[in-house]
A and B are shown apart, each in its own frame.
Chain A
Amino acid sequence: MEEKGLHKLSGFPKNKMGKILGYDNDHLKMPNKIIEMGLLPETIFRILYQAPFNGPMYVEFGAEKSRIALREEEGDYIIVEELN
């Protein structure tokens, strides 16, 4: 994932717009809920907050501006790119 512009969702800078590109190769281990809740490829998102000590991330996403909390471990499955 060292290509320019490609990141994992965890570690993505706060308050920047990003787009979900897809999932890690390992994604069969990823909780289904991530996809069911609507974190699908092509979705635009923004990380608004993160709880202390690398706690869960607070992500706002999609046209409906849904809000979701997920841990960094879950964020590791999601490949994203930064939007300008």
Chain B
Amino acid sequence: MQENKKKQILLVGNPNVGKSTVFNTLCNKKQKTGNYAGVTVASHSGKYVYENEEVEVIDLPGSYSVYPSSEDEAIFSKYLIDEQKNYAGVVYILEALSLKRGLLLFQQIQDFGIPMILIVNQIDQAERRGVTIDIQKFSEALGIKIIQTNAKEQIGIDEVREAVYNNEFLKADKISFETPNEHKDFIQKLASHKGFDNEYKAWMSLSLGTDLGRIGSVVEQINGSEAKSLVPKRLQVQETVRRYQYVDKILEDVISKKAQFKELLTEKLDKVLVHKFWGYVVFLLILLVIFQSVFFLAEYPMNWIESFFSWLAAFTGEHLPEGPVNSLISNGIVPGIGGIVVFAPQIGILLYFLYLLEDSGYMARVVFLMDRLLRPFGLNGKSIVPLVSGTACAIPAVISTRNIENVKERLLTILVTPFMTCSARLPVYSIVIGLIISEGSFLGIKYKALVLMAMYLLGFLVALLSAAILKGFIKNQGKTYLVMDLPAYKKPLFGYDFKMVLGKVWDFITGAGKIIFIVSIIIWFLSYFGPKQKADELVAANVHLDHSYLAKMGKGIEPVIAPLGYDWKMGVGILTSFVAREVFVGTMSTLYSLEDDAPEVKVIDKMRRDVKPNGEKVFSFATGISVLLFYAFAMQCVSTLAVVYRETKSWKWTGFQVVMMTGLAYFVSMIAYQILK
């Protein structure tokens, strides 16, 4: 087979210009997972093959300028500049309806000497509004190859592939940004001193402010008043204004407008969606619909999955040879994994809604509505996105804080987001609520559903409260502000989002499945063997559970967990949950299935019947509430911690989060148990 040639290209543009649509239609090969798109922040990559050439497409986070004002944009600039050797060129996407704004960043990149191809996307939309763009003139003015696309309809995509294949990336032959006269001397000196091959690179290194410390010798050559005017911020403003003037001149010749256009759909929708009163009503309704669907729509597939796994457990129980391994598989591993897979529909539905909301442009409106309400808690309007997506999983939620510009607000959001009820808590809540809350309903809503809703509300309130408390302890760095584009509404990519959701759900199942599988086996070993009982044996095998190593370990931590109302088995469950919360379910299934010789009794019934040595029920109301509260507050997720560390780059804050959350969990659970018992 012929070896494919390889090439890397970058996909760059402002936020909300249809970049992800282009990315998706361009990349027909399986995308790398592991980056959490949807609530799109992290850069991700995909691949396609064209004429025996394999092209890796890096989708960088959207940005307005090379001067970063948030972590997101910092990633963008860093990649663009540092990785220049590795990519063949930049495919820059402009949206036909906002050429002006998009050209700012375009010119900065062009002046930096990076080869580019330009895509003008959604030209049909512009034409529908009476705007005609003279592509020929445009291409000449910018000195670049322009391809018109309508990514949604797959129009122009093959041309892009062809142009990439033929390396039609062009560098600008002259710099469009003219260094202001008052700085010209200095910039030229700096450029030759540092060996920059053009003036703009020197200018940018000054404007970024990062190089100031290292140019001492050059700065000395100029007089004091000139050095004083070289404030990075001032330079950036100067550059932006000049570039826009230049862009205006170009566009004058390129665009001809027949009539003033109006964004009719957006205008109409926003009359309601950002309304002082109705805006909030609609937002609450949307949340309500999401949670209704999560709990009621998901019920059907959940029942199918449940029956499948009970069938599988019975089947393996019957057909595997009798003995401990049989019990491990049919009562431990299968129900343990089933206990997780059963939540796949709920997680999927939740994620799907979040993707659609983000995609349609609605999330920006939620930020607009919530900003003022979140500020007293030390948060930014943009914090609402991580908080809401935290109800699916804290990991993408923590990553999505990257577009919060203010460092303090971002840190606060990262610290409190894991309080939101993530989907890994659902399996635990469902089991415990099933054990301690009676059937019956209030106003047609089941008690169990009410308690579950209360748990979600609790997570949200505690997130807000802890933010309000913590904000007093975090130093403020820099100003807080909100300057945000409100994109036009568009039809979300239903099919693409669905595909993404399936991928995420599969990741969740396989990830959790692996952990549960391993934990089940370890637990089984620890419970099958125990300290030697006769002098001549190394260890005792096939011991009664109460005499196993596991029991010994569990009983070792009993003094710590007894005030919370837990017996040693729950202790083991909680310990294993520090890997991931949902492991609790697998651990409990394994533990209880190992315990006695009545495999026909369902695990949940065994749990219900289990009593402490003093005759009290293990899962009494008091213990149940205590477990619920513990799982609501404790930081029990290694993956989230890893991401928090990556995003904060601080062991101090990561450690603080563990201690704060778990300490709070311990304290609250203890109080609840002691009061209720």
Measuring CB to CB, which residues of chain A are less than 8 angstroms from any residue of chain B? Answer: 27-29, 31-38, 40-41, 48-49, 51-56, 58, 62-71, 73-74
Contacts A37-B483, A69-B486 given; does A51 touch B241 at CB 8 Å: no
Contacts A68-B485, A71-B481 given; does A54 touch B98 at CB 8 Å: no
Return chain B residues, CB-CB under 8 Å to A36. Answer: 64-65, 67, 104, 240
Asked if residues A37 and B485 are in contact (CB atoms below 8 Å), the reply is: yes
B647 within 8 A of A: no
Asked if residues B98 and A34 are in contact (CB atoms below 8 Å), the reply is: no
Complex: A55 Cα to B483 Cα, angstroms:
12
> Shortest Cβ distance from A22 into chain B, in angstroms?
10
Look across to chain A and name the residue whose beta carbon is closest to the beta carbon of B376: A53
Asked if residues B233 and A53 are in contact (CB atoms below 8 Å), the reply is: no
> Shortest Cβ distance from A71 into chain B, in angstroms?
5
Partner of A33, one of B233, B234, B244, B483: B483
> Shortest Cβ distance from A14 into chain B, in angstroms?
11
Return chain B residues, CB-CB under 8 Å to A40. Answer: 241, 244
Measuring CB to CB, which residues of chain B are less than 8 angstroms from any residue of chain A? Answer: 64-65, 67, 69, 97-101, 104, 231, 233-234, 236-237, 240-241, 244, 257, 261-263, 266, 270, 274-276, 279, 364, 367-369, 371-373, 381, 405, 479, 481-488
Complex: A65 Cα to B488 Cα, angstroms:
10
Return chain B residues, CB-CB under 8 Å to A64. Answer: 97-101
Asked if residues B486 and A71 are in contact (CB atoms below 8 Å), the reply is: no
Asked if residues A68 and B98 are in contact (CB atoms below 8 Å), the reply is: no
Look across to chain B and name the residue whose beta carbon is closest to the beta carbon of A55: B372
Complex: A52 Cα to B69 Cα, angstroms:
27
Complex: A36 Cα to B231 Cα, angstroms:
17
> Shortest Cβ distance from B72 into chain A, in angstroms?
12
Asked if residues A69 and B237 are in contact (CB atoms below 8 Å), the reply is: no
Complex: A49 Cα to B261 Cα, angstroms:
20
Look across to chain B and name the residue whose beta carbon is closest to the beta carbon of A42: B248
Return the 6 tightest CB-CB contacts between A and B, nearest first. Answer: A55-B372, A67-B486, A33-B483, A36-B64, A69-B368, A31-B481
Contacts A51-B371, A51-B372, A55-B371 given; does A32 touch B482 at CB 8 Å: no
Asked if residues A66 and B98 are in contact (CB atoms below 8 Å), the reply is: yes
Asked if residues B481 and A74 are in contact (CB atoms below 8 Å), the reply is: yes
Contacts A28-B233, A35-B240 given; does A54 touch B372 at CB 8 Å: yes
Complex: A35 Cα to B64 Cα, angstroms:
10
> Shortest Cβ distance from A24 into chain B, in angstroms?
13
Complex: A66 Cα to B244 Cα, angstroms:
15
Asked if residues A52 and B240 are in contact (CB atoms below 8 Å), the reply is: no
Contacts A51-B368, A55-B371 given; does A32 touch B240 at CB 8 Å: yes
Return chain B residues, CB-CB under 8 Å to A70. Answer: 481-484
Asked if residues A35 and B241 are in contact (CB atoms below 8 Å), the reply is: yes
With A27-B237, A67-B486 already in contact, 18 other A-B pairs whose C-beta atoms are closer than 8 Å: A28-B231, A31-B479, A32-B65, A33-B64, A33-B405, A36-B104, A36-B240, A38-B101, A51-B368, A55-B369, A55-B371, A56-B368, A56-B482, A66-B101, A68-B483, A69-B483, A70-B481, A70-B484
Complex: A56 Cα to B486 Cα, angstroms:
12
Return chain A residues, CB-CB under 8 Å to B364. Answer: 69
> Shortest Cβ distance from A23 into chain B, in angstroms?
9
Look across to chain A and name the residue whose beta carbon is closest to the beta carbon of B67: A32
Complex: A60 Cα to B368 Cα, angstroms:
14
Complex: A71 Cα to B274 Cα, angstroms:
15
Contacts A73-B481, A74-B482 given; does A38 touch B371 at CB 8 Å: no
Complex: A51 Cα to B234 Cα, angstroms:
31
> Shortest Cβ distance from A40 into chain B, in angstroms?
5
Look across to chain B and name the residue whose beta carbon is closest to the beta carbon of A31: B481
Return chain A residues, CB-CB under 8 Å to B257. Answer: 63
> Shortest Cβ distance from B230 into chain A, in angstroms?
13
Contacts A32-B233, A62-B100, A64-B101 given; does A53 touch B481 at CB 8 Å: no
> Shortest Cβ distance from A27 into chain B, in angstroms?
7
Asked if residues B367 and A69 are in contact (CB atoms below 8 Å), the reply is: yes
Return chain B residues, CB-CB under 8 Å to A63. Answer: 100, 257
Return chain A residues, CB-CB under 8 Å to B261. Answer: 65
Asked if residues B237 and A32 are in contact (CB atoms below 8 Å), the reply is: yes
Return chain A residues, CB-CB under 8 Å to B483. Answer: 31, 33-34, 37, 68-70, 74
Partner of B101, one of A37, A52, A73: A37
